[in-house]
A and B are shown apart, each in its own frame.
Chain A
Amino acid sequence: MRTRLRSAPTRCRRVFVHAVRSLDAVRWAPVVLAALLLGGPTALAQLAEGGARALALGRATVALGDDAWGHYNPATWSTLDQGTVALFASQPFGLAELRIAGLAAAYPTPYGTAALTARTYGFEDYRETTLGLGLARAVPLSRARRLHLGVHARLHTLSISEGFGSSNTLTVSAGALVQVVEGVQFGVHARNALAPRDADAKLDAPISTEPGLGLGLAYTPIPDATVLLAIDKSIEDQPASVRGGLEVRPIDVLAIRAGFTTAPARLSLGVGVNLTRVQAALAFENHDALGWTPAVDLTVRF
C-alpha cells in the first residue's frame, strides 16, 4: 500500500538523510556539500539523461533529429524512419548511488511514431522510476517541408524505503522540430508543460519534473559536421542554461562529439560508432565541481 511522502525541508536534504542511513556517508559527503554550495537540488536535478549522444553534445539537442530518446524534444521521434530500440547507462560523478539506466523504443506507424521510455535512477533506499509514452508525427507544410510534432507523457514514481512510501507524478512534454532553411533545423521543447506546480505536490515529485522551455538550432553546413546551439530555461530559480555542441563525422562509421552547458558549467566529450543497424556511443561529461560522469548507450534499428 502506498502512502503519501512526509514533507521534508528540501529534497536535497531528504536525499542526504537517506544516504547517511545507507551507511555511505563518507562517499556522499562531497556530493551533498557541492550540491548545497551550488544552490540546493540544482546540481542533482540535472541528471545525465537522454542518451550518451545528447550528453556528449552538451545536451544542446533540442533541434537535433534522429534520436530514440526524445528526452530533449519528443518531436525527434518522427524523424526516425525505422523501428529503434536504445539502452543507456550512466553513473553520475562516478557514484553508484546515482546510477541511471534507461530504455527507449520508437516505432513508426502510419499514424505517427509511437514511443516507449523507461528510466530508473537511485539506489535501494531512494529510487525514482519513470515510465513514458510518446507520440510524434510529421505534418506536411508543403511538398518538401515538414513540421515534426511530438508529445511525451511520463509517470514518475519516487519511492523511499523505511516507511516513507512513494508518490506518483504525471508530466507531459511537447515539442516541435522544423527545417527552416536548407541545413538549419529549429526545435522547441515545452518540457513538463503539465507538471505539479503547487508547493505541496512539488515536494513529493522527483527532481526532474520542473517545467521548462528549450529553444535551439542545429546547423549542418557540410554533410559531415553539425553545430548545435540551444538555450533552456527552467521554472526554477536558476539562470537560463546556454548549450552548444559539435558533431564531426570524419568517416561514415565514426562520430566525434563535444559540447558545453552553462548553469551549471559542464564540458563534455564523446565518440559514436555508427554501423548500419547498430550504433554505440560513449560520453564523458565534466561538471565544474562534481567531476566526471561517464555514460554509454547502444541503439539498434530494425
Chain B
Amino acid sequence: MRGRVLVFGSWWAERPSAVLLWLVLLTLFLSPVAFAQSPADSTDTEALDEAVLETLVDEDVSGDPTVLLETLEDLRDNPLDINRATAEQLALIPSISPILAETIARFREQFGEFDSLPELRAVEGVTDDVYAAARPYLSIGEVLDVVAPTPSPFPNAPSVQQVVRGLRYEVRQRVQRRLDEGRGYSDALRDDTTRASYSGSPERIYTRLRATYRRQVSANLTLEKDPGELFTWAPDQGSYGYDFASAHVAVLDAGRLDALIVGDFTAEFGQGVALWRPSGFGKGRELRPIVRSGRGLRPYSSVEENQFFRGVAATVAATPELYLSAFGSRRSLDANVVRADTSLAGSLAGSPGDAFGDTDALATSLPITGFHRTATELARKDALNETLFGGATELRLDRATVGLVGYTARFDTPIQRGARDFQRFDFEGETASMLSAYFDVTLLRNRDGGGGYQAFGEVARAPGGAVGGVVGTLAKLGREVEALVVARHYPRDFVSLRGYAFGERNGVTQNETGLYLGLRLRPARDWTVTGFFDQYRFPYLRFTVPRPATGYEALLYVEHRPTRWLTVYAQGRTETREVGLDVADPNGSVVGGLTTETRQTLRLHGSYLANRALRLRARVEVARYQEARLGGEPDRDAEFGVLLFQDVRWQTTDWLRLDARLTFFDTASFDARLYQFESDATGVLTNVVLTGRGTRAYLLATVEPTERVRLQAKLAQTRFEDRFTVGSGLDEVEGPQVRDLTVQLQIRF
C-alpha cells in the first residue's frame, strides 16, 4: 500500500472539504438525540449573524463595517423595553422603520402597555418576519398596572448607588492569526534593512474591557494590535503595548442629560452628510437602512483608528423637545508629512517655495487603514493633529425632527492636495468648517392597513462654500407596499471630511449626483419582492477615471417562505458603469478615455431550519463581467465566476454550537469575483472575496459553559487550485493555501 494511504490521518486536516465530512461523521456516530427536538421556533433562536448583516450592507462595503456590527450587538445586549422605548429608539432596530416605530408608539398610547412580546404582532405592520427580525433587540420590563400620576418628561436618572450596584462587566479577549505567514514576516527580509518588512508578529490581538449600567452608563477600554504591528511599550509613538487604544466613560438618557461622553465618541446627525461614524449601511436588499437616522453623540468602542473623535461631548435637553449638543475633540491622525527642508519637498507642485509658503511642513495624504507595520507606516502614525469643535441643536417634536449641526476643525500641519487632475478638488488647507441642516418628518396614514410617509433630508455647506445634500421620502402603504426615493447631490468641490451619507461610493460624500428608487412588495403572505434602481453620475474625474462618468445599478430580489422553517430567494444584481481606459491617439500618446463595464450576479439561496438545533443553508451564485471596447471593436468576451456553498449550523448541546461551511469557487478573473459573508466570533465581521479557483472551508465552535462565559474558535482555510502563491506584496504567502485561526473569550459578570 502506498505511503499516502497510511498517512491518511495527517493530511485530512489540510483538506478544506474535510470540515463537512467530519461534521457528517460526527453526526453519524454520535447519538442522534441531539437532533430529536421539537421543530424550530425561529423567533427566539435566530441569533445575530452574518445573514442579517448581508441584508444591510453593500457586499464591497468600505470603511469599517464592524462598527455597524457593534451597534447591533450593543442593541442586542441591552434590548429595548417595548413599553418604555421611544419611537426614536425603536427605529434603531433594522427591521423597524420610523413609520412603524411611530405606529407602535401610537398603539401603546391607545391600548396601553404590551403584556408580552408576541403581543407586538397585534400592531398593524408588525408581520411575523418583522417580529422575528426585531425580537433579539426587544425585551419587556415589568408591566405597571397603575400609570405614574405625573410622569417626568425626561428619562429617570439613576442614582450613583444604583449604578454602582447594577454595573455589569464584560471582558473580551481575541487573538487572530494567519497560520501561513506572509513574506513580510520572513527573517531574511527583516534582516535586510534596505527593504520593507513587518516589524511585529502576525497576530491580531484585541482586548476590550467594559462596564455598563443598562443603556445609561458605560465605561470602555478597547485595545488592538494589527497583524505585523509591534507589541511594545512606546508612549512617544502612541503605542501602549497595543498599537491602538480607545476608551470612554459615558452617561446616556439620564434626566436632562441626553449624553455626556468623556473620551472617544462619534457624532452622527441627520443623514450623515456632515457627520457620521466610520461606516454606514449601503445599497442592500433592504430599503430601510438607506434612510439614515442620526443618533447624535454616541460613545465609541470600536477599532477603526482614524475616523472617531476624542475629547468631551454632551447633549442636554433644554426642554423635552429641544436638545443642545456641544463637542470638542483633539486627536492625532495618520498622515504623510513632507518637511520643507527635505528632498521630497521638491516633488510637490511647483517650486518648493510655492507649495510651502510660510509653513515648514505639509501633510500630503491621510491614510485611514490604521496599519503601522512597516517603517513607512510607523512614520505616518499620529503625524497630524486635529482639533475640532462642534455643536448641534435638535428639535424633536412628536412626528418631526429638525436640526442644525456644525463643526470647525483645525490641523496643526496644513494639508496639501496632490497635483494630479483628479485631486483638484481634494481638501486643502489648515481649517475646515461645515454647517448642516436636516429634517425628518413622519406622517401616519389613517387608512386600512396603516403605514405612513416619512420625508427626510439634509443640506450642508462644505469647507470652501460648496452646498450639497440628500433628500428622500419613504412611503409605507399598508403592510404590502413600501417605496423609497432618495436623491443626492454632492458637488465636485463638496468636501465632507467627516460625512458618510448615502451614495455609490461608500463613505465618499463628494463628487456624485444620483437618484435611487426602491420598492418592496408582499404580493402574497409568503412572498416578498424587493427591487431598486440607482442611477448616478460623477461630475468630475476620480482616481483611474480620467473623465466625468455615469453608471447605474439595479437589484431584484424575490423571496419565498412557504413555511416558517424554509426560506428561499433569488437575487439578481446588475451594475453598468464607465471606467477609465488608456487610449492612444493617432500620435501614440495616451488619451484618457472611458469604457463601459458591466458586472452582474445571480444568486439562488435556501435556508432550512431543520429544527431548533440544526440549520442548513445552500447557495449557488454566478457572476458575469463584461467590458465594452471602443471604436467599433467587438466587446471582449464575458468573464464568469461561480460559487457553490453548503453551510451548517448545529447547536449540538446547550453549550456547544458548530458553524461550518464548504465553498467551491471558480472565477475567471478578479472582475468576476464573488463575496460571501461568514459566521465568526462575536464582534468580528467577515466578508470574504473569492477569486481564482479553489475551495474555502471553515469551522466555528462556540462554547458557552455558563451564561457568563463564551469561548469561540474559528479555523478557516482557502485553498487554491490555480496558483502557487496567495496574496501580494508583503502579505504574499508561499503555497496554494491560507489558513486563519481566531480564538475569542468573552466573560460577563
Residues on A lying within 8 angstroms of B by beta carbon are 2, 4, 112, 135, 137, 139-142, 145, 147, 149-151, 155, 167-170, 172-176, 178, 180-181, 186, 188, 190, 192-197, 201, 204, 211-213, 215, 231, 233, 235-237, 239-240
Contacts of A190 in B (CB 8 A): 17, 20-21, 646, 662
User: CB distance A211 to B695 under 8 Å?
Assistant: yes
What are some 25 contacts across the A-B interface (CB < 8 A)? Answer: A135-B28, A139-B27, A141-B611, A142-B39, A150-B28, A151-B21, A168-B2, A169-B5, A170-B5, A174-B21, A188-B616, A188-B646, A190-B17, A190-B20, A193-B18, A193-B20, A196-B4, A211-B695, A231-B620, A233-B644, A233-B664, A233-B666, A240-B620, A240-B642, A240-B666
Choose the segment among B30-38, B150-158, B205-213 that binds chain A (4+ C-beta atoms closer than 8 Å).
Answer: B30-38
Q: Which of B11, B24, B36, B563 gathers most chain A CB within 10 Å?
A: B24
Complex CA distance for A239 and B610, rounded to whole angstroms: 31
Residues on B lying within 8 angstroms of A by beta carbon are 1-2, 4-5, 8, 11-12, 14-15, 17-18, 20-21, 24-25, 27-28, 32, 35-39, 562-563, 566, 606, 608, 610-611, 614, 616, 618, 620, 640, 642, 644-646, 662, 664, 666, 693-695, 719, 721-722
User: CB distance B664 to A193 under 8 Å?
Assistant: no
Given A168-B2, A196-B4, A240-B642, A149 and B611 contact (CB-CB distance below 8 Å): no
4 closest residue pairs by CB, A with B: A193-B17, A174-B24, A174-B21, A193-B21
Contacts of B21 in A (CB 8 A): 151, 172-174, 190, 193-194
Complex CA distance for A4 and B3, rounded to whole angstroms: 11
User: CB distance A239 to B36 under 8 Å?
Assistant: no
> Apart from A140-B35, A186-B606, A190-B662, what 11 extra A-B contacts exist at CB < 8 Å?
A140-B36, A141-B614, A142-B611, A147-B614, A180-B608, A193-B20, A194-B18, A197-B14, A213-B644, A213-B695, A215-B644
Report B649 CB to chain A, min CB distance, Å. Answer: 13
Report A45 CB to chain B, min CB distance, Å. Answer: 15
Contacts of B18 in A (CB 8 A): 193-194
User: CB distance B36 to A181 under 8 Å?
Assistant: no
Contact of A237 among B14, B35, B642, B693 (CB under 8 A): B693
Complex CA distance for A112 and B25, rounded to whole angstroms: 12
Report B3 CB to chain A, min CB distance, Å. Answer: 10
Contacts of B5 in A (CB 8 A): 155, 168-170
User: CB distance B693 to A151 under 8 Å?
Assistant: no
Contacts of B27 in A (CB 8 A): 139, 149
User: CB distance A186 to B644 under 8 Å?
Assistant: no
Helix, strand, loop or mixed for chain A's interface?
A: strand
Complex CA distance for A173 and B695, rounded to whole angstroms: 15
User: CB distance B28 to A112 under 8 Å?
Assistant: yes
Report B616 CB to chain A, min CB distance, Å. Answer: 7
Complex CA distance for A22 and B614, rounded to whole angstroms: 55
User: CB distance B20 to A174 under 8 Å?
Assistant: yes
User: CB distance A235 to B35 under 8 Å?
Assistant: no
Report A35 CB to chain B, min CB distance, Å. Answer: 20
Complex CA distance for A169 and B608, rounded to whole angstroms: 35
Contacts of B606 in A (CB 8 A): 180, 186
User: CB distance B24 to A151 under 8 Å?
Assistant: yes
Report A235 CB to chain B, min CB distance, Å. Answer: 5
User: CB distance A181 to B28 under 8 Å?
Assistant: no
User: CB distance B566 to A213 under 8 Å?
Assistant: no
Complex CA distance for A68 and B1, rounded to whole angstroms: 29
Contacts of A194 in B (CB 8 A): 8, 11-12, 15, 17-18, 21
User: CB distance B664 to A235 under 8 Å?
Assistant: yes
Contact of B15 among A150, A169, A197 (CB under 8 A): A197
| Nearest B residue to A242, CB-CB | B620
Report B15 CB to chain A, min CB distance, Å. Answer: 5
Report A107 CB to chain B, min CB distance, Å. Answer: 16
User: CB distance A167 to B38 under 8 Å?
Assistant: no
Contacts of A137 in B (CB 8 A): 28, 32
Report A286 CB to chain B, min CB distance, Å. Answer: 25
| Nearest B residue to A188, CB-CB | B646
| Nearest A residue to B648, CB-CB | A176
Complex CA distance for A169 and B155, rounded to whole angstroms: 71
Contact of A176 among B24, B39, B562 (CB under 8 A): B24
Contact of B566 among A150, A181, A195, A235 (CB under 8 A): A181
Complex CA distance for A194 and B14, rounded to whole angstroms: 9
Q: Which of B8, B666, B694 gathers most chain A CB within 10 Å?
A: B666
Contact of A139 among B20, B35, B608, B719 (CB under 8 A): B35
Contacts of B28 in A (CB 8 A): 112, 135, 137, 149-151
Given A174-B24, A180-B566, A215-B620, A239 and B35 contact (CB-CB distance below 8 Å): no
